[in-house]
């Protein structure tokens, strides 16, 4: 690469859309992974990131007509959940990105969370392109994944082309109702003002190369200035997660600047800014998802843009959705703390605890927040929260509610282990524990319990 572009960072791309439109499958196709098959109920309930290096892009865009040179060092892609309860994670993903891929099921058109995603993107003025996914569902569609999608379409029977045109025109009208002008990318000559759409199939692979090429091209034209690497740290906490053997860790998106082993970092926390030191910077291999259990590699230094798991002490009370700062000198610590406190105050509004209420324990902060949102909507107060396994101390806290009102002596445990000792104490004291690995099942079990109590 030449001098003017050698200092580009990877763009951060967020994949958004309604539930089951194929967001995770699209990434699986690109990564040659099976993350979606491993998800409980086929539902994405966490947020993570994947690095797609240039060689993978080159390899997978071979069939694309008029393919441009690649100047960016790769793509950093964030997958988000499409289920209604996870608007927190859609918001977090989209607020951390340079552009988005909005995935629409070509057979269904725009759906409620498509529109919610559009509104989030509009609010932050985040540009996006549209993947019209599941094109293989068109009746009598013939897959040609090794071809440019325009050639593939040209080879389809007339009835297939008619159905495609009809679906596309319907979707154009639906976008117009949202105040957006969209066009198929190969009819779009003004990518600054018109949003491009590309038909794809995450199953057969049709259009996948075109999708990647479109993202790269958009980044290298419209977003080029924004992608100049800067040493000015820009780092945001994406997720807080308990990992066996590592304790509570944070997953961050490092958009600009660098992080080093031993750095003094100021991390947002529910009880105020946390000052700690980087004890480990972990990243999965390229093409592997940060949120999935993979062998991680340890680095002494990481330069943006990357998704990184940080190991450090005192992260139990860490929170997501706010910045992480590095203090290079002792006297910077207080300045950093003040800066982060302002962000914390904003983000904390979502978590506020009550004196009386149920206890919630989850594997990640993102899913915990989704549970809290559900409780809020159902007018159920919550008095305690935690990330990671349910221990004896959690039962003891919940048991205090027995003195007030039995119905609150409840622990909702999502995707976490309940320690044997904790289970026994809960049974002895009369604290109810509900467990599930799909948040909707947890909602249902708890709602049923409340119904039973009323009888």
Give catalytic residues, as residue numbers. Answer: 83
Q: Per CB under 5 A, which region of 36-44, 100-108, 142-150, 350-358 contacts Na ion?
A: 36-44
Residue 38 lies near ligand GTP (rule: CB under 6 A): no
Q: Smallest distance from the beta carbon of 139 to ligand GTP, in angstroms?
A: 12
Work out whether 81 is an interface residue with ligand GTP (CB under 6 A). Answer: yes
Nearer to ligand GTP, 72 or 153 (CB): 153
At its nearest, how many Å lie between Mg ion and the CB of residue 274? 30
Provide, rounded to whole angstroms, the least separation between the CB of residue 288 and Mg ion.
16
Least separation in angstroms between residue 24's CB and Na ion is: 6
- Should residue 20 be labelled a site residue for Na ion when binding is judged by CB under 5 A? yes
- 3-class SS string, the chain: CCHHHCCECCCEEEEEECCCCCHHHHHHHHHCCCCHHHCHHHCCCCCEEEEEEHHHHHHHCCCCCCCCCCCCCEEEEEECCCCHHHHHHHHHHHHCCCEEEEEEECCCCCCHHHHHHHHHHHHCCCCEEEEEECHHHCCCCCCCCCCCHHHHHHCCCHHHHHHHHHHHHHHHHHHHHCCCCEEEHHHCCCCCCCEEEEECCCCCCCCHHHHHHHHHHHHHHCCCHHHECCCCCEEEEEEEEEECCCEEEEEEEEEECEEECCCEEEECECCCCEEEECCEEEEECCCCECCCCCCEEEECEEECCEEEEEECCCCCCECCCCECEEECCHHHHHHHHHHHHHHHHHHHCCCCCCCCCEEEEECEHHHHHHHHHHHHHCCCCEEEEEECCECHHHHHHHHHHHHCCHHHCEEEEECCCECHHHHHHHHHHCCEEEEECCHHHHHHHHHHHHHHHHC
Q: Which stretch binds Na ion (CB under 5 A): 35-43, 183-191, 281-289, 304-312?
A: 35-43
Of 46 and 323, which CB lies nearer to ligand GTP in the complex structure? 46
Which among 66, 363, 362 is positioned nearest to 372, based on CA atoms?
362
Binding marks (x or -) toward Mg ion, 13..52, rule CB under 5 A?
Answer: ----------xx-------------------x--------
Q: Which one of 20-28, 170-178, 230-238, 271-279 is the stretch in contact with ligand GTP (CB under 6 A)?
A: 20-28
Q: Is 82 in the site for ligand GTP (CB under 6 A)?
A: yes
* # chain residues binding ligand GTP, by CB under 6 A: 22
Q: Does 21 bind ligand GTP (CB under 6 A)?
A: yes
* Segment 196 to 215, residues that bind ligand GTP, using CB under 6 A: 201-203
Number of residues that bind Na ion (CB under 5 A): 2
Quote the least distance from Cβ 41 to ligand GTP, whole Å: 8
Per CB under 6 A, does 24 bind ligand GTP? yes
Stretch of 21-29, 144-152, 159-167, 357-365 contacting ligand GTP, by CB under 6 A: 21-29
CB nearer to Mg ion: give 24 or 249: 24
Q: Which residues bind Na ion (CB under 5 A)?
A: 20, 42
Q: Which residues bind Mg ion (CB under 5 A)?
A: 23-24, 44
Q: Which residues bind ligand GTP (CB under 6 A)?
A: 17, 19-25, 36, 42-44, 81-83, 133-134, 136-137, 201-203
């Amino acid at each position: 690469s030449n001098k003017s572009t050698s200092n580009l960072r990877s763009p951060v791309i967020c994949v958004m859309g309604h539930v089951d439109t194929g967001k995770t499958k699209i990434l699986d196709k690109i990564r040659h992974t099976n993350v979606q098959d491993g998800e409980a109920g086929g539902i994405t309930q966490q947020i993570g990131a994947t690095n797609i290096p240039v060689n993978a892009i080159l390899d997978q865009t071979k069939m694309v007509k008029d393919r441009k040179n690649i100047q960016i060092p790769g793509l950093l892609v964030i997958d988000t959940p499409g289920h209604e309860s996870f608007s927190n994670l859609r918001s977090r993903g989209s607020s951390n990105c340079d552009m988005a891929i909005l995935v629409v099921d070509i057979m269904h058109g725009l759906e409620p969370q498509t529109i919610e995603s559009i509104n989030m993107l509009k609010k932050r003025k985040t540009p996006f392109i549209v993947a019209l996914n599941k094109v293989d569902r068109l009746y009598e569609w013939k897959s040609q994944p090794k071809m440019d999608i325009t050639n593939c379409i040209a080879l389809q029977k007339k009835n297939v082309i008619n159905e495609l045109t009809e679906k596309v025109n319907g979707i154009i009208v639906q976008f117009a109702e949202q105040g957006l002008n969209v066009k198929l990318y190969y009819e779009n000559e003004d990518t600054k003002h018109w949003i491009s759409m590309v038909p794809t199939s995450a199953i057969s692979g049709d259009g996948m190369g075109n999708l990647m090429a479109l993202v790269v091209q958009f980044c290298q034209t419209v977003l080029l200035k924004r992608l100049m690497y800067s040493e000015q740290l820009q780092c945001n906490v994406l997720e807080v997660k308990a990992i066996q053997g590592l304790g509570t860790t944070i997953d961050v998106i490092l958009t600009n600047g660098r992080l080093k082993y031993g750095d003094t970092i100021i991390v947002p926390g529910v009880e105020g800014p946390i000052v700690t030191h980087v004890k480990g910077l972990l990243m999965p291999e390229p093409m592997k998802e940060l949120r999935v259990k993979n062998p991680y590699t340890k680095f002494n230094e990481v330069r943006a843009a990357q998704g990184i798991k940080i190991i450090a002490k005192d992260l139990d009370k860490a929170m997501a959705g706010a910045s992480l700062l590095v203090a290079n000198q002792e006297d910077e610590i207080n300045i950093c703390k003040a800066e982060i406190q302002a962000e914390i105050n904003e983000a904390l509004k979502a978590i506020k605890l009550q004196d009386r209420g149920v206890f919630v324990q989850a594997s990640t902060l993102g899913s915990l927040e989704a549970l809290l949102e559900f409780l809020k909507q159902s007018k159920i107060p919550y008095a305690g929260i935690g990330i990671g396994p349910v221990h004896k101390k959690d039962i003891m806290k919940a048991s205090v509610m027995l003195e007030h009102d039995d119905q609150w002596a409840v622990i909702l445990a999502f995707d976490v282990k309940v320690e044997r000792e904790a289970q026994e104490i809960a049974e002895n004291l009369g604290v109810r524990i509900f467990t599930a690995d799909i948040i909707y099942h947890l909602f249902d079990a708890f709602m049923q319990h409340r119904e039973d109590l009323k009888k």
